Amino acid sequence: MMNRAIIPGFYCWIALGLLPACGGKATPGAGTGDTSPMASPMQAGPAKPAPAGPVAEPEDKLADEVLQCPRLVYDRNTKQPIVKMDQYVDLRIERGTFHMRIRIPEATTDLSFEQCRRIPRPADGAAFPHVLECTTLEGYGGGQFSIDAHLVSMRAMVSRLVTPGTERHRTLAGIVERVGREVPRRTIGFLVEDRQVMEFLCYP
């Protein structure tokens, strides 16, 4: 039986250089017992303005968008990719504010992250795959939750736009072709330390 850690509720707060990821009221049946997909755009509570930060690329100014991000997993035996529609991240960027709602079976209720930060573009022109990093899990709406113990320190990395002609686009195209989907607009990776443990494909 998997060990789970019980985490008390947190409330979103603003700290210097941080972009809050805030949610609204928790929805009844939001635990893993109810795996039906939720309607989007998600219901979110009052948002907090994001602090000004460095802009990565013109296409990565994080303009208003609502993205549904189902989870990408692989069959243990065949290694065939599978898109899990009942496990997902709802991601919304609106008027300079940021919202995330996460539903995964490893947690007992929907989740969000307490804080996020913009990732500046490297001055030396090095690879720049992500625009946001989110840390400190919290229950969606600030409630208590439990999660598999090895995921307590999990963080999220939100990718840049996936643009045609890039290596990332070609890699994803080869994967999503096998499940009959288009190349996603963005991806979200969940990491423990520096190892990716989950991936989500984001579509408008």
Quick one: tokens of 138? Answer: 């919290």
Residue 54: closest CA among 115, 123, 113, 114: 123
Strand partners of residue 92: 66, 99
Question: How far is the C-alpha of 147 from the C-alpha of 192, rounded, in Å?
Answer: 13
- pTM of the entire structure? 0.72
Question: How far is the C-alpha of 108 from the C-alpha of 141, rounded, in Å?
Answer: 14
Extents of the domains making up the chain: 4-25+48-202
Per-residue pLDDT of the chain (204 residues; tens, 9 = 90+): 456 666 655 433 333 334 444 443 333 334 444 434 444 434 443 343 333 333 334 445 667 889 999 999 999 999 999 999 999 999 998 876 778 999 999 999 999 999 888 887 776 656 678 888 999 999 998 889 999 999 999 999 999 889 999 999 999 999 999 999 999 999 999 999 989 999 999 999
Q: Determine contact, residues 186/159, Cβ cutoff 8 Å.
A: yes
Residue 104: closest CA among 67, 64, 139: 139
